[in-house]
Chain A
Amino acid sequence: MEFDNTLEVPLPPAEAWRVLLDIRRIATCIPGAELTEVVDERTYKGKVAVRIGPVALSLVGQARLEEVDAANQRARVTAQGSDPKGRGSTDAVIEFRLEPAGAGTRVLIHSDVKLAGAIAQYGRGTGMIRSVASQLIGQFGEALKAQIAQAGAGREPGPARPISGITVLGKAAWDSIARSPEKPPSKP
């Protein structure tokens, strides 16, 4: 199924672009996500916990930055994940595009998500899955905004979700943001 979402980031596009490509930082803002391994600069392994009513899934897999077009501020990410309990799997292509919106940035997200297995039948079709995806993106946007605001105010970021394996790195990234709000850390 394909769907579109938008996200507002309170940073100018050039800075928002750098922040959004800082996967280690971004991963801490994705609800229920845990980055478990950085394979290389563009490939990341992890898991995402998704909840649809009584169904709590943990999708384990990897995401890869397939295309990064800095000139046009567009990026394409592919992600595959499957539930270790065999309830289903997902295969997604997500395209991001940035455009200025006032003093900040609007992120346009186009997702093409394929779901397979029993989970695809839960939630009576795509409507509810889409709703869950929108909520995830909404929560992600809030978390990112909160993180940027905290960094801007020079405060220590709030309690993070467990980000096993990269806790120290993630903390370091946050600290550098907190120190220089105008200059987010460059891409690792």
Chain B
Amino acid sequence: MKPAPFEYHAPRTVREALDVLAEVAPRDGRVLAGGQSLVPAMALRLARPAHLVDINGVKDLERLAVAAGALEIGACARHAAFHRPVVDGPLGLLLSEVARHIAHYPIRIRGTFCGSLAHADPASEWCLVAATLDSRVVARSVRGARTIAAADFFRGAMTTALEADELLAETRIPLPAPDTRFGFSEFSRRAGDFGIAMALATYRVHGGVMTEPRIGIGGVENAPRRIAQAEAALEGKRPGKEAFLAAADAVARAVAPLDDARCPAPYRREVARAMARRALERAAA
């Protein structure tokens, strides 16, 4: 099917993009980045935006660089950019490990990191990374720029703190300490499908025990989040079966899973438990 008619805008600079967005946002204007969620919804005529603001021609948004202790990911950086580590140390390796799980290769060539965050699908891998690593997103509009912590950004399934006239211009992921260990685990019935549950775990080991543990769960609830109870079960414990099982149990107890005909909540809870354990085991390996 063809999409419903819309007006197409192709700004060349961030300033132009914000100006046109301010103008068309009240009339259902949308930002087009990789288009891997928006365009299929338009082709099905489920989404019928009146205006599209295509940011693919804005060179400044392709930025992917380290500054002030954080990896800065511009709005036009594609998933595929992370296939190989983009930064030395654990973060580059972590992003490259996670990127392989995102949909399929052709989608990764076009889809963008920031677009995933703005779309906020509950099963988005990048949203899980952003939430677990306490990333910050930079929202820009003609009214100015503001920085939003990931924990405040995701408001629910496909709902974010972003206003209609705001462009998610950049995401900043703090660089973890060089000795940070990480593990990621995701389960979906077919490769590339939306995950039923996924977990990202990171921690450091000092004097034989875990410090700064983080464990985030995605695909299970309306939005990904860190599970404080599971992190408490890891802090100061030796990395191993006992602590990992305790943390996985804490995850299973803490989550309020999405429930639908294909995947009932009790099943999703068990998958979340298994993913948490595997992510922790992979971090230890």
If A87-B45, A118-B46, A127-B258 touch, whether A132 touches B119 (CB-CB below 8 Å) is no
The count of chain A contact residues (Cβ–Cβ below 8 Å) is: 22
Interface of A is mostly: mixed
B150-189 near A? 1/0 per residue, CB < 8 Å: 0000011111000000000000000000000000000000
A122-137 near B? 1/0 per residue, CB < 8 Å: 1111111011101100
On chain A, the residues within 8 Å of B38 by CB distance are 54
Closest chain A residue to B220 by CB distance? A127
The count of chain B contact residues (Cβ–Cβ below 8 Å) is: 30
A29-57 near B? 1/0 per residue, CB < 8 Å: 00000000000000000000001111110
* B79 at interface, CB cutoff 8 A: no
Q: Is A53's CB under 8 angstroms from B260's CB? A: no
Q: Is B260's CB under 8 angstroms from A127's CB? A: yes
A152 to chain B, nearest CB (A): 27
Q: Bound complex: CA of A122 vs CA of B120, how far in Å?
A: 14
Q: Is B119's CB under 8 angstroms from A54's CB? A: yes
Closest chain A residue to B4 by CB distance? A85
> Taking each of B38, B121, B159, B261, which has the highest tally of chain A beta carbons within 10 Å of its own beta carbon?
B159
> Taking each of A85, A119, A124, which has the highest tally of chain B beta carbons within 10 Å of its own beta carbon?
A124
Give residues 5-47 of B contacting A (CB, 8 Å).
Answer: 28, 30, 37-38, 41-42, 44-47
Q: Is B155's CB under 8 angstroms from A135's CB? A: yes
Closest chain B residue to A138 by CB distance? B156
Q: Is A122's CB under 8 angstroms from B41's CB? A: yes
Interface of B is mostly: loop
A117 to chain B, nearest CB (A): 10
Q: Is A132's CB under 8 angstroms from B259's CB? A: no
If A53-B158, A54-B38, A135-B155 touch, whether A125 touches B261 (CB-CB below 8 Å) is yes
Closest chain A residue to B158 by CB distance? A53
A20 to chain B, nearest CB (A): 24
Q: Is B222's CB under 8 angstroms from A131's CB? A: yes
On chain A, the residues within 8 Å of B126 by CB distance are none
* B262 at interface, CB cutoff 8 A: yes
A130 to chain B, nearest CB (A): 8
On chain A, the residues within 8 Å of B47 by CB distance are 53-56
Enumerate 10 A-B pairs (CB-CB under 8 Å) in ascending A order.
A53-B120, A55-B41, A87-B46, A124-B194, A124-B260, A125-B260, A127-B258, A131-B122, A131-B157, A132-B157
**Chain B residues within CB distance 8 Å of chain A:** 4, 28, 30, 37-38, 41-42, 44-49, 119-122, 155-159, 194, 222, 258-263
The 4 closest A-B pairs by CB, nearest first: A125-B260, A127-B258, A53-B158, A131-B157
- Contacts beyond the supplied A54-B46, A127-B157, A131-B122: 19 A-B pairs with Cβ under 8 Å: A53-B41, A53-B120, A54-B38, A54-B49, A55-B46, A55-B47, A56-B28, A85-B4, A118-B44, A119-B46, A123-B158, A125-B261, A126-B259, A127-B122, A127-B260, A131-B222, A132-B156, A132-B157, A134-B222
